[in-house]
Amino acid sequence: MPSNAKHPVEEEDDLDAQKDKYLTFHIASEDYGIAIVHVTEIIGMQRITQVPKTPPFIKGVINLRGKVIPVMDVRLRFRMPGRDYDERTCIIVVQHNDATVGLVVDTVSEVLDIPKGAIEACSTISRDQDNFVSGMGKVGDSIKMLIDVHRLLFDDTLEKMAAGQNA
Amino acid sequence: MSGDDSSFSFEISPELVAQFMVEALEQLQEAEATLLKLMQSPDDAAALQLVMQYIHTFKGNCGLLALSQLQQASHAVESLIIAVQDGEVESAPAVAASLETIDSLREGLNNFAQGGPGEVPDLDQVLAHLKKIQGISAPEAQDRKQQEAADSGEMVRAFMEASEQLRQESQRISSRALELTESIRLLMDSLPCDAASQVFQALSAALSACQDDASRQSFRPVIVGFCDKLDNFAFALLDGVAAWPDPAPDIDEISCLINKAAERQPQAAALAAPLAGIASAPAAEIRSEASAPAPQKPAAPAKETQSKAETRSESPAEVKPEAAAKARREIRVDVDKLDRLMNLVGELLISEIMVTHNPDLAGLNLPNFERASHRLRLITNELQDLAMAVRLVPISGVFRRMSRVIHDLKQRSGKEIRLELKGEDTEVDRSVIEILGDPLMHMLRNSADHGLETPEERRAAGKPEEGCIRLSAAQIGAEIVITLQDDGRGLSRSRILAKARQQALIEDEGTSMSDQDVWQLIFKPGFSTADTVTDISGRGVGMDVVRSNIDKVKGRIEIHSEAGKGASFVIRIPLSLSTIDGMLVKVGHVQYMIPLLLIRETLRPHPEQLNTRHDGQEFLRIRKEVLPVVRLHLCHGIEPRTQRLDEGIVIIINLFRGPICLFVDDIVSQMQTIVKPLAGQICNTPGISGFTILSDGQVALILDLEEVMQLTHKS
């Protein structure tokens, strides 16, 4: 795919302007990317109200300017060990299928252009945490793992785990 | 007649169509309700007049959009009603036929809404049926009419178009209005209807006489009224009847206007004289010749006609200004806007609490601030009440649908049913209305089909043959209570249990189940006790829909039943879905909001009040009662501040199954808050119905205690 030619029409069309753009963030030693169309905003750490009987990766709910949204710890979702929150910890607010969810990540890096041609499909060595990665984006020498938001938020395992928790 | 609609120059926009649909459905609904009223009191002249008006407006609107089939069908209803008014046709069969036609009209509307041409199913049959009742069955009259209709098809369209233009012109009456009236008059001249032609002659004369704007303005209502009549006239042409109803009052009206104008303009006075002459002409002269085949009053002397015309024109004149005044005082608002308003008011309420109860203010003595914040509080409360009131609509709309349902059920089931409605003006939130319609219909059908016995059975049981279903609504406290009560056979415990076993909904014989638990079985999906599937109910999709719809509005259903005497279903729905008065309590680090409505009392128990059953279930003796203890920290797996009952607080809560003692750590405060649904389904914790935002911006959980109880029952 050729590099984006700057047509004025593209400026007008929001979706087009957001195409191929990914917000990258850092968890443990890896970089991840999330399609910018899903991202509503990035906020600092807030006081989280815990909700009983939810899976451990649901940290609770926050008050986002009068709207109550759940917050998911992406580390715990990836079944990585938890980590104390610090001043670099961020909440990425994403929206998908009418659900608004805050994602807790170690740090937010930058917005990158990753054209389709630079994305390689994920090899299917099926381990659970690979389920959330839809492709590998090559940016220079580094690799950004691109997150499938739908799977992250709505994967069956979430329901299974939730059911397991409640039983 | 010509089906070519393209000659209508009127542009149809999507907004117009949407508005048309809303209004048309409303008109049909109102007409239907009035017709149902007429079923009971067939001689209600005012009701007949109302039906006429609704159908007439409906017809007019259909005309605007060139929905010719709908127009024809509604026109036939209208003429039938007029025949009833004139005492030519008996009321009962005419009302029944009109009701049926309304269904056809609805279908026609649906067809139009789905992009069709507004086709009325079996239009010919519908029309023939209506005509038969009206007594116009003579084939020669029909033939003649059809032929004339064909001739006048062009004419009718010309009239419709002219009337539409004139109506638009009436917004700003200019010289063009004069041209239009002239051209209409010329059209009229070619018809054998002198009366109509005279009316328009008078109108054009009057318009030409009035030069100044002020007097022209005064013509506006008259012209609009004439447009309506002109439409009627055009429709009458379809029937081969070119009659202008009693021109005398119309001409009177015009001459009256001219007299008024004459006070300003002397030269107009000269015109008033000949007009008066027209008005006083004998009725026989101004009656059209072509009107002969139509069922019409015999020609009467002028005096009688005029007095009759006066009485006739009186009733609409009385009704119309009222309706017009009402219409002006009501506006249609997009529901989304109302929702947004409500949300914003909610935000305001929270922000107000966050400011006035700001932690930074703690310990300060601020008398002026207190006064100001008190005032702010009053205003926000009033604003909140108002924003909620805006969303309230009377439940009568839903109830009216129910009388229609019963009307149809009676005919299909052969049972004698009387429906008694009470509390129709009870107001409920719009969202509740939308959700309530289907459940009530299912329940009503169930009551009529399963609950009420056949007339023979009822006679054998010593009951009146006519079964009675009472539907009532009332606001009790912060709840809307809707009761559906029948005097039928009541729910049968053994049949419900047998059915439940058959459907594998229960495993054992169910002998240990309480009546209440047995009744709740009927809400299970796929449950139906009717032995045969009837047209009315018995497909087993009813009651679980009822349950899920009522769950959606956080309502509950109670069932009371007595064998042989009948059953009653009580639906309780919280008045507002968006605010609650609640008590904030704490368990460990979690803050819960408990609806104040459910709380009976709070206390710190003494150790000697406590008893523990062998299975570990704790009970508290409070005065003469022994109540089960529910430990919230166990339900939700929280580490509490204290495990000892005498160190915490017990809240006695009235639940549907009876009171319970809810054990919590502490009471924090009591406040009114806004319920916030969770955006998305990610953490759907059982026992939590929503969230609320506290004065410090923190989130608290709203407890759904019925669900908490289900949770403890399971474990």
Contact B635, B705 (CB under 8 A): no
B186: confidence class by pLDDT, cuts 50, 70, 90: low
Radius of gyration from C-alpha coordinates of chain A: 17
CB A52 to CB B676 under 8 A?
no
| Cβ-Cβ contacts under 8 Å, A150 against chain B | none
Of A21, A30, A26, A37, the C-alpha closest to A116 is A21
pLDDT on residue B63: 74
pLDDT on residue A102: 93
**Where is average pLDDT lowest: B161-165, B292-296, B487-491, B519-523?**
B292-296
CA distance A3 to chain B (A): 37
pLDDT on residue A121: 78
CA–CA distance, B228 with B164 (Å, rounded to integer): 9
pLDDT on residue B111: 83
Residues 6 or more apart whose CB falls under 8 angstroms from that of B369 comprise B361
CA–CA distance, B677 with B689 (Å, rounded to integer): 8
CA–CA distance, B33 with B54 (Å, rounded to integer): 11
| pTM over 0.80, yes/no | no
Contact B651, B645 (CB under 8 A): no
| Tokens (6 digits) for B122 | 């079996």
Is the predicted pLDDT of residue B122 greater than 50, yes or no? yes
Question: How remote is the C-alpha of B389 from its chain's centroid?
Answer: 17
Q: What average pLDDT does this structure show over B370-390?
A: 86
CA–CA distance, B361 with B371 (Å, rounded to integer): 14
Judged by DSSP in three states, A139 sits in strand
**Residue B676 has what DSSP assignment?**
B
Percent pLDDT > 90 in chain B is 5
Q: Search chain A and give the residue with CA nearest B347.
A: A66
Average pLDDT, chain B: 74
Contact B189, B198 (CB under 8 A): no
| Cβ-Cβ contacts under 8 Å, A69 against chain B | 678-680
Is the predicted pLDDT of residue B623 greater than 90, yes or no? no
Q: Which residue has the tokens 């009532």?
A: B472
Of the partner residues A63, A158, A166, the one whose CB lies closest to the CB of residue B697: A63
| Cβ-Cβ contacts under 8 Å, A158 against chain B | 682
A6 contact B CB<8A: no
Report the relative pairing of strands B479-486 and B556-562 from DSSP bridges.
unpaired
Of B227, B120, B249, the C-alpha closest to B177 is B227
Q: What average pLDDT does this structure show over B194-198?
A: 65
B277 contact A CB<8A: no
Greater confidence (B375 vs B564) lies with B375
pLDDT on residue B566: 86
Greater confidence (B237 vs B652) lies with B652
Is the predicted pLDDT of residue B457 greater than 50, yes or no? yes
CA–CA distance, B224 with B57 (Å, rounded to integer): 13
CA distance B598 to chain A (A): 22
Judged by DSSP in three states, B245 sits in coil
- Amino acid sitting at position B503: Q
Could you tell me the end-to-end alpha-carbon distance of chain B, in angstroms, rounded to an integer? 74
CA–CA distance, B426 with B474 (Å, rounded to integer): 6
Of the partner residues B680, B681, B685, the one whose CB lies closest to the CB of residue A53: B685
Burial bucket for residue A148 (CB in 10 Å: 0-12, 13-18, 19+): middle
Question: How remote is the C-alpha of B226 from its chain's centroid?
Answer: 32
pLDDT on residue B243: 60
B355 contact A CB<8A: no
B631 contact A CB<8A: no
**Where is average pLDDT lowest: A10-14, B123-127, B247-251?**
A10-14
Between chain A and chain B, the number of residue pairs with CB atoms below 8 A apart is 78
- Interface mutation vs chain A, best among B342, B635, B683, most A CBs within 10 Å: B683
User: What tens digit of pLDDT does each residue of B598-611 get?
Assistant: 888 999 988 888 88
Of the partner residues A51, A101, A162, the one whose CB lies closest to the CB of residue B688: A51
A126 contact B CB<8A: no
Handedness of CA B153, B159, B161, B167 (dihedral sign): negative
B269: confidence class by pLDDT, cuts 50, 70, 90: very low
Q: What average pLDDT does this structure show over B431-448?
A: 82
CA–CA distance, B194 with B163 (Å, rounded to integer): 18
Burial bucket for residue B10 (CB in 10 Å: 0-12, 13-18, 19+): middle
Of A38, A4, A17, the C-alpha closest to A146 is A38
User: What tens digit of pLDDT does each residue of B383-438 get?
Assistant: 887 887 787 888 888 888 888 888 888 877 778 888 888 888 888 887 788 788 87
Q: What average pLDDT does this structure show over B547-554?
A: 77
Q: Which regions of chain A are under pLDDT 70? A: 1-17, 122-130, 155-167
Question: How remote is the C-alpha of A20 from its chain's centroid?
Answer: 15
User: What tens digit of pLDDT does each residue of B292-340 get?
Assistant: 343 433 444 444 444 444 444 444 444 444 444 444 567 777 878 887 8
Q: Which of B286-295, B302-311, B613-622, B672-681 has the highest average model confidence (pLDDT)?
A: B613-622
Of the partner residues A52, A99, A166, the one whose CB lies closest to the CB of residue B680: A99
CA–CA distance, A64 with B590 (Å, rounded to integer): 19
B176: confidence class by pLDDT, cuts 50, 70, 90: low
A54 contact B CB<8A: yes
CA–CA distance, B3 with B524 (Å, rounded to integer): 52
B588 contact A CB<8A: no
B683: confidence class by pLDDT, cuts 50, 70, 90: low
Q: How far is CA B411 from CA B40, B406, B415, B470, in A?
A: 15, 9, 8, 19
A103 contact B CB<8A: no
Q: What average pLDDT does this structure show over B590-603?
A: 88
CB A54 to CB B350 under 8 A?
no
Q: What average pLDDT does this structure show over B366-375?
A: 91
pLDDT on residue B577: 61
Alpha-helix residue ranges (DSSP H) falling in B414-471 = 430-446, 455-460
| Tokens (6 digits) for A69 | 């949204």
- Amino acid sitting at position B47: A
CA distance B107 to chain A (A): 35
